[in-house]
Structure 1
Amino acid sequence: MNLGVAMFIGNKLGKFHDMEMDALRCSWGAPLRMRVGVDVNLPLKQAYKIRTTNGEEHIVTFTYVHLPNLCYLCGHLGHIAKYCELRFHDDFVDPVVRPIPE
């Protein structure tokens, strides 16, 4: 992946700062590691859909490192999914627990 694509994706998350790259200013293989400034008062994005110039759609998923207590239910910092307020809503459906077919 080249720097331009990484900047595009990083700026969709927040403000792109830099990425790990080789002398050709590219990153090979997965995962692509980049540093992005994000507003932690907003939910963190888990994925983003991109479309290539030839019309193909791809889903880019994000993994955050060095963050304290990230909730994967609501995307906010400060608590984990086990203690998320969403669990206490009457219409809550746990995305991990699959319903038993009848």
Structure 2
Amino acid sequence: MLEHIVVVDAGDLPRPPLEAALDRFAHGIRGCRGLISISWGQNFNPLGLERRCHYVCTVILESEETLRTHYWEHPAHQILLAELPGLCESRFALDYFIDEDAAHAR
């Protein structure tokens, strides 16, 4: 299993369009083969905000293969990738492997 995290710097751009895109993505990606869970939200941690980390999206997937195929190629993901450049200042992703017990402890 792996966790895929995307951290978004909204910059000075309006937040509602970005939030709407993240919400559409979260609903649209459900049903993706190998997707275990997805969540997103606005960061409120002061240290993260100092570093301009305004939003976070977290996805748990069955495998790295799932990340690189079913998830990456999913229409909802492709739409989000196309929309994000106009909705945020920047973004970065983190990927790491987790064990099944850690994923189910959530």
User: What TM-score, normalized to structure 1?
Assistant: 0.31
Higher RCO structure, 1 or 2 (CA under 8 Å, sep 6+):
2
Q: Which structure: greater strand fraction?
A: 2
Please tell me whether Structure 1 or Structure 2 has the larger radius of gyration of its CA atoms.
Answer: 1
Q: Which structure: greater helix fraction?
A: 2
